[in-house]
């Protein structure tokens, strides 16, 4: 793992802790605290599901950029987790910089399609607890 230095005083003496969806780093030299909340881009054509997932993620303290389709995104999900429906799943998400791609897939056919596009994980779209569990795992593994 690469050594992290304080962006304020350049000290390498940093202490990192993870909360459920945020990485908190404190400089042991100057005392500055840096927080990196998990950021998710959500592309889902289903308005009701998208609205519900946005509310759930924001209630957990996760930053969310919602869109109904790719054309509505103002920027690519560079350094962020992408959560999308099967219709918007593509191998290109990782190529443009998404750290992980989670596909909302309910049927075996949708899960197979998601695997073919290189999804990091699939989640039944009606199971928000499964989505939060995967996002917690990603937060814990962040560098």
Q: Are 15 and 33 in contact (CB under 8 A)?
A: no
- Domains of the chain and any CATH numbers: 1-37 (no CATH), 39-141 (3.40.50.2300)
Cα–Cα dist 44/22, whole Å: 24
- Collect all residues with Cβ–Cβ distance below 8 Å to 52 and sequence separation of at least 6: 128
pTM reported for the whole predicted model: 0.82
- pLDDT bin (cut points 50, 70, 90) of residue 143 is low
By C-alpha distance, which of 11, 19, 76 is closest to 43? 76
Cα–Cα dist 136/100, whole Å: 12
pLDDT tens string 114-127: 888 888 898 988 78
Q: Are 38 and 21 in contact (CB under 8 A)?
A: yes
CA angle 113, 134, 67 (to 5 degrees): 65
Sign of the dihedral through C-alpha 31, 39, 96, 141: positive
pLDDT tens string 50-69: 999 999 999 998 999 999 99
């Amino acid at each position: 793992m690469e050594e992290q230095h304080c962006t304020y005083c350049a000290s390498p003496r940093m202490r990192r802790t993870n909360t459920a969806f945020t990485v908190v780093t404190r400089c042991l030299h100057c005392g500055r605290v840096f927080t990196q909340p998990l950021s998710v881009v959500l592309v889902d054509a289903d308005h009701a599901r998208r609205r519900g997932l946005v509310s759930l993620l924001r209630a957990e303290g996760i930053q969310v950029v919602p869109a109904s389709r790719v054309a509505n995104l103002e920027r690519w999900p560079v350094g962020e987790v992408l959560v999308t429906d099967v219709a918007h799943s593509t191998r290109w998400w990782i190529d443009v910089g998404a750290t992980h791609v989670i596909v909302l897939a309910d049927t075996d056919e949708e899960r197979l399609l998601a695997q073919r596009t290189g999804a990091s994980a699939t989640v039944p779209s009606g199971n928000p607890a499964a989505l939060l569990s995967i996002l917690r795992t990603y937060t814990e593994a962040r560098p």
